[in-house]
Amino acid sequence: MNNITYTPFQEPESLYALNEVLLEAEDLQGLNLLMSFTGFADAGHVVSQISGELTDNLAAEPLAVFDIDQLIDYRSRRPRMTFMQDHLSDYRAPSLVLFRMIDALGKPFLYLNGSEPDLQWERFTLAVLGLVERLDVNLTVWAHSVPMPVPHTRPIGATVHGNRPELIDGISAWKSTLEIPSAIGHLLEYRLTAQGRNVAGYAIHVPHYLADAEYPPAAVAGLEYLGAAASLMLPSERLREAGRAVERQITEQVEGSAEVAAVVANLEKQYDEHSEGTARKSLLTGDSDELPDADELGAAVEAYLASRDAGPDGGSDPDQG
């Protein structure tokens, strides 16, 4: 069943408008493609920060603009507007665009960015695969973020997957088999792999107690992974400065609360224990190789707080493998 080839009722090409002028003016063959989609497990707002950093700082031209009305369920993900005293302004419409961009060293690349589709996943996937084939994309790399029971005082980690061993080996030792909720990036990676196209994905680990707020250090890590994989110089200076300010604020909060300090200390202990040796499993899975959900991660923090007055118990935690 997994190898079924789907034929859409409508041609995938009708999902987007193509900038034919740009195609004729520029040699877009063989470029690397970066992807990021908002709407799925964006812990620490990593994807939105990466998107903002790239679109705000790099020269970009739309190559393909997707018909968002065919892909988004507005009632489940209502766009934001601003109410200013007595009138409405600043309607922030969803979008999904394939850009041609230039990195800091003048190297061109492609960037598919925007809202994850709610609808027509198979048709959208075929549309992207068609563009990849037409442009003979060299490598597709995508990033998202997940909340993890890890401390902010340790290096930002990532779980890596794909079909390029040189981009995976030595970064993530996770070899478990389990079912996970899929995102459109996962489906695209799966289909690209089936077509023999080079692809790699990076799930950036965000401390779960910081998952609901913007956490710039994780976004910087995401940019570094994407840039290294695609051989691009991506901007991160503003996020690095913002990250230093956030780290100072977190340090003040930790130093001002014995309870918070105990939580961080327990996470540090468990992180260090699981980091010993070179063949440790990813912190994504527990002893049963099941992916912890948000409720389980929250329960872990409550457990730490409840046991803060107890002595060392060996560091056993069901949220880490």
Q: Is residue 180 very low, low, confident or very high in pLDDT (cuts 50, 70, 90)?
A: confident
- Specify the amino acid at residue 93: A
Domain boundary among 181, 214, 235: 235
Q: What is the pLDDT, as a whole number, of residue 66?
A: 98
Q: What pTM was computed for the model? A: 0.82
Q: What CATH number does residue 92 fall under?
A: 3.40.50.10900
Is residue 199 one of the residues assigned to a domain?
A: yes
Does residue 42 form part of some domain?
A: yes
Q: How confident is the prediction for the chain on average, in pLDDT?
A: 85
- The pLDDT of residue 168: 80
Domain end residue (candidates: 189, 204, 235): 235
pLDDT at position 279 is: 45
What does the pLDDT average to over 43-66? 96
Comparing CA positions, the residue from 131, 185, 109, 151 lying closest to residue 272 is 151
CB 41 within 8 A of CB 183: yes
Give the whole-angstrom CA distance, residue 82 versus residue 68: 21
Asked if the structure places residue 6 within a domain, the reply is: no
Q: At residue 53, does pLDDT exceed 50?
A: yes
Residues 119 and 70 sit within 8 Å (Cβ to Cβ): yes
Same domain, 273 and 180: no
Q: What is the domain range of residue 181?
A: 12-235
Looking at per-residue pLDDT, the higher value among 187 and 305 belongs to: 187
Do 161 and 281 fall within a single domain?
no
Is the model's pLDDT at 173 over the cut of 70? no
Is residue 274 located within the same domain as residue 140?
no
Nearest CA among 109, 116, 166, 108 for reference residue 144: 116
User: What domain count does the chain have?
Assistant: 2
Residue 41: its pLDDT value, please? 79
Helix (H) or strand (E) holding 52: helix 46-57
Report whether pLDDT(15) > 60: yes
Distance of alpha carbon 132 from alpha carbon 192, whole angstroms: 9
Please state the φ and ψ torsions of residue 28, each to the nearest 5 degrees: -105, 10
Bridge partners, 134 (sequence order): none
For residue 300, the model assigns a pLDDT of: 45
113-141 pLDDT tens trace? 999 999 999 999 999 999 999 999 999 99
pLDDT given for residue 19 in this prediction: 96
Please check whether residue 62 is in contact with residue 95, taking contact to mean a CB–CB distance below 8 angstroms. no
| CA–CA distance, 59 with 54 (Å, rounded to integer) | 9
What's the one-letter identity of residue 30? Answer: G
Tens digit of pLDDT for each residue in 236-275?
A: 999 999 999 999 999 998 999 898 899 899 999 988 887 7
Residue 289 reports pLDDT greater than 60: no
Report the percentage of the chain scoring pLDDT > 70: 81
Domain-located, residue 319: no
Which ranges of 82-183 would DSSP assign to H, the alpha helix?
A: 121-135, 165-168
Distances (CA, A) of 192 to 3, 139, 142, 188, 200: 13, 10, 12, 6, 10
Query: Do 222 and 251 lie in a common domain?
Result: no
pLDDT on residue 278:
44
